[in-house]
Structure 1
Amino acid sequence: MSDLLNKDYSSGSVLNFGELLLRITPDAGGDWLRENNIPVFVGGAELNVATALALWDVPSRYFTALPQNGMSAQLLSFLQDKGIDTSSIFYHGNRVGLYFLTKGQDLKNDALIYDRANSAFAELTPGVVDWDKVLDGVTWFHFSAICPAISQNAADVCKEVLEVASRKGITTSVDLNYRAKLWKYGKEPIDVMPELAQYCDLIMGNVWAAERMLGVKVDELVTESGQKSLYVKEAQNSSEAVIKQFPKCKAVANTFRFTADDNTNVEYYTVLYTDGKPYLSGEHRAERIIDKVGSGDCYMAGLIYGFYNGYDPQQTVDFATAAAFTKLFVNSDATDRSVEFIQEAIIK
């Protein structure tokens, strides 16, 4: 059994590292202009993971950078009310990052607009944060590929904290989420992510993200086939290639979500590869969903929850998949579904 599965994490907390974002959500018809009313959600990929873990009673800490002002104080109180340990947050800079996403749309949609240049997180630089102090008492560290996509400085800070986490023997996970509207500073994901992935024990994403970010090729015929059996086999092939390329990696998770543009006819299943074996989840289906944002983050939280609590691989992938699927029916960046609710939604 791998060290990832056979490790006791209960002596410490999970630290999620990333940028806090405010999601501004106008409706597609423009009623927000006439009614002078627009929803705002507190999000960011890693914060979504931290929120889910805190809800599920896993000791959850969060590192981000915020300006020291009244709005940050309100955000801090909001996070603390959710049970998230905010003691690691670093204060500097002048602004919080924003993104605008039309209601019901996907983060890969043209309806997405980022406004996060010169945010407090984007302006972090190496040598500023005492990572030994931040990582004290941490047994699991999580980040996503969104962080190094922001700027060269952010990528350098990612590497800096990963080096410290590795030295301290902290289990590390990464979500290979790709945002086409980021990566605008002269680097492509393939130029940056392999160097960061070498520190990771768990890598999550999908076969196409692994190709784009880590250079693991996907058979073009598999992509065109649309066949579940071929996707599952490609997930195994991709996972084996990732583990061979990055020896520290002990587990790879691949998600498969297929949805019509109008959020109908949803099909969702995932594969977790570890200890030389693939573990396939049940297949979840729905006629219509509510909100795609944060589903992958919830899946990542489910994986961490399973490993943290000593679940076996099949239990872990089943829980994570059900967690991600049930998030699709929550109108928020993060889930509000309990462990009990998720366990009842598991498909055997």
Structure 2
Amino acid sequence: MEKNFAFNITQDDLSRFSGKGPIFVTFGETLIRETPADFQRLERTENVYISLAGSELTVATLLARFGVPSAYITRVPDNPYGWMVRDTARSHGIDTEYFVWANKAEPIGRLLYEIGRTPRKSVGWYQRMYSAASRLGSGMVNWKNALRNCELFHTSGITFGLAYHSHYEQNYLLDAFYEAMSHKPPSCWVGLDFNYRATLWRAEQCREVMTPLIREHVDILITTIEDMATVYGFSCGQYSPEQIDKGEMGEITDNDLRSLASHLGEYFNAKIVAITIRYPDSFEENRWESAVMDSQGHFFRSPAVKSITLLDRLGGGDTWNGGFYYGLLTAGFGPEGIHKGLLVGDAATRIKQTLMFDLPIITKAEVQDLLKADVEGGGKRVSR
């Protein structure tokens, strides 16, 4: 980061949002996450931590905590777990007016998650088939009202894979998305995190749905090098899809990232392409950076690859998305907002991944302090 970075997110003027409905809206599925509390294997545990997981709720949580009026839309059963999703969202300031309530007997999606330690991998088991959220379809949400003040609408590729996971003949969430697009304001930007999950659908199924969806409706595409190699067979500059799949990439240059971002922008007709990059050195230690390029050729990359001592990596990418969107919504969708968003996203995700569970329970002051420490050094003393 430059020594004279000019923004202070603790002092951002959010007054233009005052009195308006949500300017950030997202929809998808929230999972009940069960994590062994006794450090046993999942099959042996007798005590679990219950928490919430899910891409879209995580993004909305970060933005709402940072003062951006945000709404989350989902379909949940009218039972204690559904109420938990609603109440948790509300506790962070998220608008839940457009929740769709299903019969109390319908299932809610679940994630059984066992945290590993080097060399044992962390393992997640989805139980999302026939979930209430997977059947959020057209005609269930008043999208015209929900999006009346929306400046940025976000969703995730995970959302559209749920129909394949449940072997539905109809993709309800895809229908809901297209209905939303028909009611969004003309000035509303659409962002999507590609988020490919092989446990939900095959690569060819993903391509069939995502390619026209992104080309027709998505302005901001967020993805990883690995997902683009796996699903589309795209190279990253000098590195082939085979090298990417085998983890055989060496140093990733600016030219490599420019090449991939430019290709994705042209292929998907996206105005902004963001690429997040995780270097998993071990379970306990990861490194992180990101890069963003817009259709005008403005290119930004993290000033340095930064280490993270992990406590829980889940929600890290989604937290970056929230920080990136914060920059766009407070500084505009041009170069200034892109640069700000990249830096805020990097700092926010580095803090989040030192916390347990998915939701980013962090403050703007913490992010600002980390941005300052990156420039000036220090920041290792206890805050008290």
Do residues 41 (structure 1) and 62 (structure 2) align?
no
Counterpart residue number, 1:244:
266
Do residues 269 (structure 1) and 301 (structure 2) align?
no
User: For 1:34 and 1:103, how far apart are their aligned partners in 2?
Assistant: 14
Check whether the contact 1:147–1:154 (CA below 8 A) recurs between aligned residues. no
Counterpart residue number, 2:381:
none
User: For 1:255 and 1:340, how far apart are their aligned partners in 2?
Assistant: 23
User: For 2:263 and 2:252, how far apart are their aligned partners in 1?
Assistant: 20
Shift in Å, 1:284: 4.2
Shift in Å, 1:291: 0.8
Q: Give the TM-score taking structure 1 as reference length.
A: 0.86
1:118-267, aligned counterparts within 5 Å?
A: 118-151=130-163, 152-157=170-175, 159-164=177-182, 168-183=186-201, 188-198=205-215, 199-213=217-231, 216-218=234-236, 219-221=238-240, 223=244, 224-229=248-253, 232-247=254-269, 249-264=270-285, 266-267=286-287
Q: Can you give the 5+ residue segments of structure 2 that lack an aligned partner in the other structure?
A: 1-14, 164-169, 376-384
Do residues 291 (structure 1) and 302 (structure 2) align?
no
- Residue identity matched to 2:346: T
Shift in Å, 1:210: 2.9
Check whether the contact 1:207–1:234 (CA below 8 A) recurs between aligned residues. no
Other structure's SS at 1:228 match: coil
Structure with max Cα Rg: 2
Counterpart residue number, 2:329:
308
Q: 1:56 aligns with which of 55, 66, 74?
A: 66
Q: Give the TM-score taking structure 2 as reference length.
A: 0.79
Check whether the contact 1:148–1:158 (CA below 8 A) recurs between aligned residues. no
User: For 1:71 and 1:32, how far apart are their aligned partners in 2?
Assistant: 21
Q: 1:327 aligns with which of 352, 356, 377?
A: 352
User: For 2:342 and 2:16, how far apart are their aligned partners in 1?
Assistant: 18
Counterpart residue number, 1:4:
none
User: For 1:316 and 1:194, how far apart are their aligned partners in 2?
Assistant: 26
Q: Can you give the 5+ residue segments of structure 1 that lack an aligned partner in the other structure?
A: 1-7
Shift in Å, 1:256: 1.1
User: For 1:95 and 1:9, how far apart are their aligned partners in 2?
Assistant: 40
- Residue identity matched to 1:24: E
Question: Greater CA deviation, 208-217 or 303-312?
Answer: 208-217
Counterpart residue number, 2:11:
none
User: For 2:37 and 2:284, how far apart are their aligned partners in 1?
Assistant: 15
- Residue identity matched to 2:23: S
Evaluate the alpha carbon distance shift between residue 143 and residue 35 of structure 1 in structure 2; reply closer, same or farther with a 3 A threshold: closer
- Residue identity matched to 1:268: W
Shift in Å, 1:233: 2.3
Evaluate the alpha carbon distance shift between residue 167 and residue 302 of structure 1 in structure 2; reply closer, same or farther with a 3 A threshold: same
Cα deviation digits, residues 60-97 of structure 1 (max 9, x gap): 10000011224322432222111111001111241211
User: For 1:115 and 1:204, how far apart are their aligned partners in 2?
Assistant: 26
Cα deviation digits, residues 25-51 of structure 1 (max 9, x gap): 126852788884210111211000011
Other structure's SS at 1:23 match: strand
User: For 1:124 and 1:149, how far apart are their aligned partners in 2?
Assistant: 13
User: For 2:85 and 2:181, how far apart are their aligned partners in 1?
Assistant: 29
Question: Greater CA deviation, 35-44 or 85-94?
Answer: 35-44
- Residue identity matched to 1:191: E
Shift in Å, 1:310: 0.8
User: For 2:189 and 2:300, how far apart are their aligned partners in 1?
Assistant: 21
Other structure's SS at 1:269 match: strand
User: For 2:75 and 2:117, how far apart are their aligned partners in 1?
Assistant: 27
Question: Greater CA deviation, 314-323 or 25-34?
Answer: 25-34
Check whether the contact 2:63–2:326 (CA below 8 A) recurs between aligned residues. yes
Evaluate the alpha carbon distance shift between residue 105 and residue 138 of structure 1 in structure 2; reply closer, same or farther with a 3 A threshold: farther
User: For 2:109 and 2:42, how far apart are their aligned partners in 1?
Assistant: 21
Evaluate the alpha carbon distance shift between residue 287 and residue 237 of structure 1 in structure 2; reply closer, same or farther with a 3 A threshold: closer
Question: Greater CA deviation, 192-201 or 9-18?
Answer: 9-18
User: For 1:255 and 1:287, how far apart are their aligned partners in 2?
Assistant: 14
Other structure's SS at 1:118 match: coil
Evaluate the alpha carbon distance shift between residue 9 and residue 279 of structure 1 in structure 2; reply closer, same or farther with a 3 A threshold: farther
Q: Paired residues, what number?
A: 334
